[in-house]
Amino acid sequence: MPPEKDDRYPVSVVIPVLNAEAYLPALLLALKRQVPRPPQEIILVDSMSTDRTRELAEVEAGVRVIPIQNFSHGRARNVGVQAASSPIIVLMTQDAVPRDTFWMARLIEPLGHDNVVATFSRQVPRSDARPMEQFYLQTSFPVDGPVRREQGSKQAPSLSDMFFSNVSAAFVRETLLRHPFDETLIMGEDQQFARTVLSAGYATLYQPDSVVIHSHRYPLRSVFRRYVDSVYAIRTIKTDHTVADTASTGVTYLMAEAWFILRRHPLTIPYYALHLCAKVAGVLAGHILERLPTCVTRHLSLHSYHWQSDR
């Protein structure tokens, strides 16, 4: 476990990037404004960007760029963790930005207390986020907390126990080295990590006082493809997860979501109907993905590179 944290305690921030030119200036500025102290180092794990990502990073003090090929979500993060020099690791995505100057201090504060080895932030949407994204974030990342998760006496962590997001998360580096991310997963490497450490007797913690701004505006085709990959990833991590399991939680969520749209955003109902069709179709496809020919899977999956035979 890490020693007591104070304003001298070092933190390494690791961020997988790909063509992050549009995001880096605001993100790096927000990181360097953290108090009581900014991170000791910022490591960008770059999947061969073709824009000015590397150029922008290399002029910033305390920022390192590590190029990688054959990207996977787990591999990029493992490479960054292994290269980091600090006992605390903060992982982010390139399109998330801290909402205030206390984001990092609040995120790392619970580490080492009450067996907590990993924490994650609350996510709030950008001003242009669609209503469905707003609802997802306020439901999945509520204001109430913190919420500590542990396996306890259960045989295996449930899906709700496993919920974790490395869009903005902090870790004890020693734990990440002992329990690295699964590099073979299409996505969901953060939830696989949570399942692993919970099963090993540790705890994770949701820290809503640490806030990042992060949301997406996926077109409908990408909504479909993302749900394909998300369900496939869950089934890979939790091999006993069935269509019935998805339905038992999904129906309740969809009813609440539909009521939110009806009450708060009635003018978006036609688009919501299309979004709902894309989402449901993606979920169903995700349950049969491995049974389809690879040439089909590549077109259905948002992460088409995952299905390349030469990886």
Question: For residues 181 and 192, is the Cβ–Cβ distance under 8 A?
Answer: yes
Question: For residues 63 and 130, is the Cβ–Cβ distance under 8 A?
Answer: no
Alpha-carbon distance 104 to 92, whole Å? 11
Residue 146 pLDDT > 80, yes or no? yes
306, two tokens: 């995952």
Q: What is the mean pLDDT of residues 250-262?
A: 97
Phi then psi dihedrals of residue 63, to 5 deg: -115, 130
If one counts every other C-beta atom within 10 angstroms of the C-beta of residue 229, the result is: 23
Question: With bands split at pLDDT 50, 70 and 90, how would you rate the model's confidence at 2?
Answer: very low
Structure-token match 């054959």, residue found: 70
Alpha-carbon distance 126 to 99, whole Å? 11
CA angle 242, 197, 171 (to 5 degrees): 120
Domain ranges of the chain: 11-213, 220-307
What secondary structure letter does DSSP report for 285?
Answer: H
Q: What is the largest CA-CA distance in the chain?
A: 54
What is the per-residue pLDDT across 188-236, written as a single tens digit (0 to 9) for each?
999 999 999 999 999 999 999 999 999 999 999 999 999 999 999 999 9
Q: What is the pLDDT of residue 271?
A: 98
Question: With bands split at pLDDT 50, 70 and 90, how would you rate the model's confidence at 6?
Answer: low
Percent of the chain with pLDDT over 70: 96
- CATH for 11-213 (3.40.50.300, 2.30.130.10, 3.90.550.10, 2.160.10.10): 3.90.550.10
Helix ranges (H only) for 97-217 are 103-108, 131-140, 159-162, 173-178, 189-199
Q: What is the pLDDT of residue 309?
A: 64
Grouping H, G, I as helix, E, B as strand and the rest as coil, residue 33 is coil
Question: For residues 117 and 100, is the Cβ–Cβ distance under 8 A?
Answer: no
Question: With bands split at pLDDT 50, 70 and 90, how would you rate the model's confidence at 308?
Answer: confident
Q: What is the mean pLDDT of residues 144-148?
A: 95
C-alpha dihedral, 76 to 79 to 80 to 86, nearest 10°: 150
Q: What is the pLDDT of residue 1?
A: 42
CA distances from 83 to 11, 40, 47, 106, 165 (A): 13, 13, 16, 24, 21
